[in-house]
Structure 1
Amino acid sequence: MTLQELHEAASAGMVDGLEVVSLEGGFYIVQVRRANSLKLLCDESGQVLHLRSTTQARTLLAGLWPLPCELIQHCVHDEMGATRETSVQPLRIPLSLEPSS
């Protein structure tokens, strides 16, 4: 899903929320929650957008406020070792897209 498609879907009420996912290496990607699916935010050529900071994510998504947005941080230990008997849910922190005054 491109940024333009995201804006159109959000305007039509077809977006339930956004997830800014922290990846190893200091990158972030944006997942768009719709009904029963997640779509990745991509550029015009179809490549997944890799953002360098939550500030860059806020700037990119600024026009989509008041959609709910969460920062998702997975447990690196579980991703690397996967030795736990039960999985640990990722940390979910509300991320405000509200314009600052």
Structure 2
Amino acid sequence: MNLQELITLATDGQIRELELLSLEGGFYIVRAQLHDKARTLLDSRGKAMHLHSATQLRDLLRDLPSSAPTMPCVLVQHVVHDELCGVRQGPIEPLRLPISLSLAW
């Protein structure tokens, strides 16, 4: 999905949650959780769009109408320390921190 599709889906209230996935290498990708599937934000070449910060995501969404439904957003980060040390047993879930799309702090 491109940025315009993301804005349209958000405006129509079809996005259940927006995830900002932190990946190795210091960049993020955006994944929209719809009611029936997840879609990744793509750049003009059709590749996953790499972002450098939550602020960049806020800037991308500045064209989202103020009348659009509230869209929860979370920063998703896998805890590498837990994976490397192997101390915990069972599945290791990623860290999920709510972030604001309207406020920087």
TM-score if structure 2 supplies the norm length? 0.80
Deviation at 1:44, TM superposition (A): 2.4
Alignment of 1:75 onto 2:79: yes
* 2: CA distance, partners of 1:5 / 1:13: 12
Tell me, yes or no, if the aligned pair for 2:75 and 2:96 is still in contact at 8 Å: yes
- Write the letter of the residue equivalent to 1:39: R
Question: Which runs of 5 or more structure 2 residues have no equivalent in the other structure?
Answer: none
Residue aligning to 1:18: 18
Question: Which runs of 5 or more structure 1 residues have no equivalent in the other structure?
Answer: none
For residues 55-90 of structure 1, give each alpha carbon's deviation from its aligned partner in whole angstroms, at most 9, with x where no partner exists: 2122223344731100001121455x4845412211
CA RMSD of aligned residues (A): 2.1
Q: Would the alpha carbon gap of residues 82 and 40 (structure 1) be closer, same or farther in structure 2, given more than 3 Å must change?
A: farther
Where does structure 1 differ by over 2 angstroms across 4 or more consecutive aligned residues? 61-66, 81-85
SS at match of 2:71: coil
- Percent sequence identity is 46
TM-score if structure 1 supplies the norm length? 0.83
- Count residues in correspondence: 99
